[in-house]
Amino acid sequence: MAVEEKVIVIDFGGQYNQLVARRVRECNVYCEIYSYRTPIEQIKEMNPKGIILTGGPNSCYEEGAPTYTKELFELGIPVLGLCYGAQLMMHVLGGKVEKAPVREYGKTNTCIDGSKEALFAGIEDETVVWMSHFDYISKVAPGFEIIAHTADCPVAAAACEDRKLYAIQFHPEVLHTVRGKEILHNFVRGICQTAGTWRMDSFVENTIADIREKVGDGKVLLALSGGVDSSVLAALLAKAIGKQLTCVFVDHGLLRKNEGDEVEGVFGPNGNFDINFIRVNAAERYYAKLKGVEEPERKRKIIGEEFIRVFEEEAKKIGTVDFLAQGTIYPDVVESGLGGESVVIKSHHNVGGLPDYVDFKEIIEPLRLLFKDEVRKAGLELGLPEYLVYRQPFPGPGLGIRIIGEVTAEKVRIVQDADFIYREELANAGLAKLPDQYFAALSNMRSVGVMGDERTYDYAVVLRAVETIDFMTAEASEIPFEVLQRVMSRIINEVKGVNRVMYDLTSKPPGTVELE
């Protein structure tokens, strides 16, 4: 899809690179992430309205540290450097960066010294920002003036207004910087003079038109998992090409309670979309493959490989298709090393290689420009029900990794029922949207209990609820004790095979969000 105006983020290995881009898009301006290795000629061709340099783990004055050519700051395009990006700007343009006498980490009181007409328009004289640096700018580059400082950082921000170059030592993209959104808005909309026309209704309309033009009278095949990304993609394709789309939904029996029927209810014969929908109920096949397998990574591989086999069988029945659709979204692109510098390869996502088991001519990925929150907005624009659009992140292997040890039909039933009760009670308490992710998992621990006048020897269910911004780190949610008590009581009374319920308080790190 053609984009009239955009701001680009140049990534120097910062952990918040995607968050910076998301904050720009919240200003209704399209944004993409590129590695610092991107040639200057390519950046010129993109003709961005503004450029943002991210943080990074290096010291810009050390040999071999990530850098960029001085020409970047001579293009006449506004540039905003954040943390390492600010230090690099000063270093390249003739300032000085050194080890800080006092390192700053966390929330820091900051005094605004400069004009309130540009970057800090509308910001109080004192505000709280998020610092994370061990180097500092000891001398600003020629032409710059200091526009903010802290007790320990003489250059918390500097600006060269004539050239529209700005360097800020703190991170405006994180929520801990109290007026961070406003500062980024001032740069993106004010200094860069963008119109702010990037909106989801226009994205949906334009993408539907692009799909129709590209597909023509061709046929499209989609593996529909029932997750948010594939469901929004299915709805988008359905609106664009209708019966030219075939969705294959492989129900591996490891979904949450009732989810398979919910997916069929939306996309099946009696659903909202006029497409070809194939549901393959493959639960018994998966249970057989997983029999006796306890190691989490092996379970992942078996579930993934079996999905390929089932999908391949159905695809062969369909025959040749013109396009294979994939629910790739922008974080997948970035984390595959195709969009930025901070590479975190996901072993299961679908960027970087085309399946060789389906007879198709070309691949299409209409959502590859979008972050997850934007995918959800697109889903609502397309008329998908809220319960599907706001479905929480769910691992590809499903309950297979929320069951510790061997996966059996009996264990799946236990965790489905326990999870259903947990979700229902949080909803009844008005807490359904407070934790960013919550679920019940089944431990492989069995213990003695007493129920009625009989001793039992049953499983322990583990409840998990976390709060997070980006799922890179997470803290356990403080669910009210009376709610946990109700959940515990219902699970033990209603779910056969459980006599103990525990709540997991582990943060990430050292733990993960999932229990596997």
- Which residues are the active-site residues? 83, 171, 173
Between β-strands 437-451 and 454-467, what pairing exists: parallel, antiparallel or unpaired? Answer: antiparallel
Report the distance separating Cα 283 and Cα 38, nearest Å.
46
Q: Output helix, strand, coil percentages for the chain, rounded to the nearest 5.
A: 35, 25, 40
Q: How many residues does the chain have?
A: 516
Radius of gyration of the chain (CA): 26
Q: In sequence order, what DSSP letters do the residues of 380-436 get, joined into one string?
A: HHTT--HHHHTPPP--TTGGGGSB-S---HHHHHHHHHHHHHHHHHHHHTT-TTSSS
Identify the H or E element spanning 230: helix 228-241
Surface-to-core class of residue 457, CB atoms within 10 Å of its CB (0-12 exposed, 13-18 middle, 19+ buried): exposed
For 414, the token pair is 């236990």
Q: Is the peptide bond before 48 cis (omega within 30 degrees of 0)?
A: no
Report the distance separating Cα 234 and Cα 245, nearest Å.
8
Report the distance separating Cα 194 and Cα 200, nearest Å.
17
For the chain, the first-to-last Cα distance in angstroms comes to: 39
Rounded to 5°, the CA angle 3-6-8 comes to 130
Sign of the alpha-carbon torsion through 43, 44, 50, 52? positive
Report the distance separating Cα 479 and Cα 376, nearest Å.
26
Report the SS3 class of residue 231.
Answer: helix
> What are residue 104's DSSP bridge partners?
133
Between β-strands 454-467 and 498-503, what pairing exists: parallel, antiparallel or unpaired? Answer: parallel
Contacts of 429 (CB under 8 A, 6+ apart): 480, 483
Report the SS3 class of residue 23.
Answer: helix
Identify the H or E element spanning 288: helix 283-290
Q: Tell me the Ramachandran region of residue 204: left when phi exceeds 0, alpha when psi lies from -120 to 50, beta otherwise.
A: alpha
> What are residue 501's DSSP bridge partners?
461
